[in-house]
A and B are shown apart, each in its own frame.
Chain A
Amino acid sequence: MSPRLVEVRQNVLRHNDVVARELRQRFHEAGVYVVSLVSSPGSGKTAFLEKTLTLMRPDYRVAALVGDLATDNDAARLARSQAPVRQITTGTLCNMEAAMVRDALEGWDLDRLDFLFIENVGNLVCPSSYDIGEDLRVVLLSVTEGEDKPLKYPTIFNTADLAVLTKMDLAEAVEFDLAAAECNVQRVRPGMPLLKVSSKNGSGMGEWLQFLTSVNAGWLDR
């Protein structure tokens, strides 16, 4: 007998998409705005997040989830900001999945939060395919990585809502070509806003907080 073709039409990541949708619904009901951070390893996500939590804590109720394959070093670093922090260790997985976020939130009262930050595993490939229920996806690029990162990893840049250039205090030393970086970001994601920061000396952090406050205000008015 000839083979029979059975139509399925099912997304491979359907289960993740369903969990992410449920999470987003929960976040919206609780009024917590969720920001995820993606980048390659070593681009300064944790330093940026530590600074962000410290600066926001006087005015907002903030918390963070941080993902790594192993160790809870990043959670320990972030805890210095005094904000509630939980580590997600993904084992051998190179990205977070929505179910890991859901499980890590167990016992947290989301109603008591204004902002939740989720630091994804350092990786510019795998996280691009997974929705984890965030409202804003921020892709970080440090000046030491080179201006052409957006062209090398277009998919992750294309799925992000905001690009943040980190380690700007080193830009001159590494002869970073800012115009080229901006042009490359715009090529793979036309219209995406781009911020320039240094977590070390604090430059640009004011604009970043302003950006967050304004997107959050728009979101609360929705």
Chain B
Amino acid sequence: MNAVHLKLGRLAGIVKDALLSSYELACEGTSLQGSRLVIEEIPIVVYCPKCLELRTLHTVQWFACPECKSPVSDVIQGRELQVVALEIQE
């Protein structure tokens, strides 16, 4: 196994660096030893009910439309914690 590709949403409740360091520890002595964890960070995308548009949030501390500043609660993307693919050397 060369690598594990993972999608990590900014609202998943997981810190990328902590995951990377624990991955290495968890893989020790298994068939994944020496493999890389490739993390694609997924931004938070919300639906703004006022603009009727999808918007990307740049902070997790303020759920407001970056354009019109309306409060937004409809999270479309950003909670992902998903193994997308395995990279295997044959």
Chain A residues in the interface with B (C-beta under 8 A): 1, 3-13, 125-126, 128-129, 151, 154-156, 158, 186-191
Q: List 14 A-B contacts (CB under 8 A).
A: A3-B90, A5-B87, A6-B85, A7-B85, A8-B84, A9-B82, A12-B82, A155-B13, A155-B60, A158-B11, A187-B62, A187-B63, A190-B63, A190-B72
Bound: A12/B73 CA distance, A: 25
Residue ID in chain A nearest B71 by CB atoms: A190
Interface of A: prevailing SS:
mixed
Contacting A at CB under 8 A, from B66-90, are 71-73, 75, 80-90
Chain B residues in the interface with A (C-beta under 8 A): 2-3, 5-6, 11-14, 60-64, 71-73, 75, 80-90
Q: Is A9 within 8 A of B62, CB to CB? A: no
**A6-B85, A7-B84 as given contacts; A154 in contact with B61, CB under 8 Å:** yes
Chain B residues lying within 8 Å of A4, measured Cβ to Cβ, are: 87-90
**A9-B82, A11-B82, A158-B11 as given contacts; A187 in contact with B64, CB under 8 Å:** yes
Q: Is B87 within 8 A of A151, CB to CB? A: no
Chain A residues lying within 8 Å of B61, measured Cβ to Cβ, are: 151, 154, 187-188
Chain B residues lying within 8 Å of A6, measured Cβ to Cβ, are: 85-88
Q: Is A191 within 8 A of B71, CB to CB? A: yes
**A10-B82, A154-B60 as given contacts; A189 in contact with B73, CB under 8 Å:** yes
Bound: A128/B10 CA distance, A: 12
Residue ID in chain B nearest A12 by CB atoms: B81
Q: How far is the CB of B73 from chain A (nearest CB, A)?
A: 5
Chain B residues lying within 8 Å of A189, measured Cβ to Cβ, are: 63, 73
Bound: A190/B62 CA distance, A: 9
Chain A residues lying within 8 Å of B6, measured Cβ to Cβ, are: 12
Q: Is A10 within 8 A of B83, CB to CB? A: yes
Residue ID in chain B nearest A187 by CB atoms: B62
Chain B residues lying within 8 Å of A125, measured Cβ to Cβ, are: 13
Chain B residues lying within 8 Å of A191, measured Cβ to Cβ, are: 71, 73
Residue ID in chain B nearest A13 by CB atoms: B81
Chain A residues lying within 8 Å of B60, measured Cβ to Cβ, are: 154-155, 158, 188
Most A CB within 10 A of own CB, among B5, B61, B81, B86: B61
